[in-house]
Amino acid sequence: MPELAAIVTGANSGIGLPTARELARRGARVTVAARDPERGGAAVAGILRDVPGADVVFRRLDLADLSSVREFAAGVDRVDLLINNAGVGMIPRTLTKDGFELQFGTNHLGHFALTGLLLPRLLAAPAPRVVTVASDAHKVGRLDFDDLALERGYGKTSSYGRSKLANLLFTFELQRRARRAGSALRAVATHPGATATNFFSVGPFQPLLKLFLRSAEDGAAPSLYAATSPLIRGGEYLGPRSQPLTPSKAARDEALAARLWDVSAELTGVRFGEFADT
């Protein structure tokens, strides 16, 4: 793989860590983007132990704080590959620093803003890619634009599904806009399958549950394939075996995607430059 500059959000743990490690092993310049400096530094140290001489650094990024997203993006000089991997799930109702429901605000709005702010650097790359980790949980997601804060009803699973539906709608709309603009950017979504990550790290059945979960390394495989394979086409949705999956009807709704894009741009203040009106 030719040398490229890659950013992996949430690369301090879960499937993000083996994703960053393998990209570094293949010669990429990798930025571990994560909220906690201690854990991020430990992730970088671990990658350097496994891949001596790797070009890997940590930079702080809190996707639940748009000021942090802007600060991070302002410090990026080059990016060929952005992997929107970080996420939270199955948590009690909480708000981001900017007042958004946390799962939607982190998993979708934070990554929407990050991608838009990095777009000029992505478009300067010869073959830019944006890989967003979604989930088949998107099939239980519903978007109510009159209650995006979920003040009238909150469910841990349904809220997570809503954020993953937003990830897919965003990916497909980003690809449509890239094509209309004549850009070489490829936007791809992945579903890692149920993996033994922090999502399943608590509860009385956790030791037994892990017997039925894929390893984080296996969970990283679709993201790595989407990031590196020359066969990838923009707008694909890849599953655990890196095979194309069929997203839900809602995820393929172009009108819904366009509305989500406009609402997300309004909420975050990020307009995507030359993709804004395509």
Which has the closest alpha carbon to 155: 93, 241, 83? 93
- CA pair distance 91, 170, nearest whole angstrom: 23
**Chain mean position to CA 253:** 20
154 is an active site residue: no
Q: Which residues of 40-70 are buried (b: 16+ CB within 10 A; e: fewer)?
A: bebbbeebeeebeebebebeebbbbbbebbe
- CA pair distance 265, 45, nearest whole angstrom: 36
Catalytic residue among 154, 160, 225, 237: 160
Q: Which residues are catalytic?
A: 160
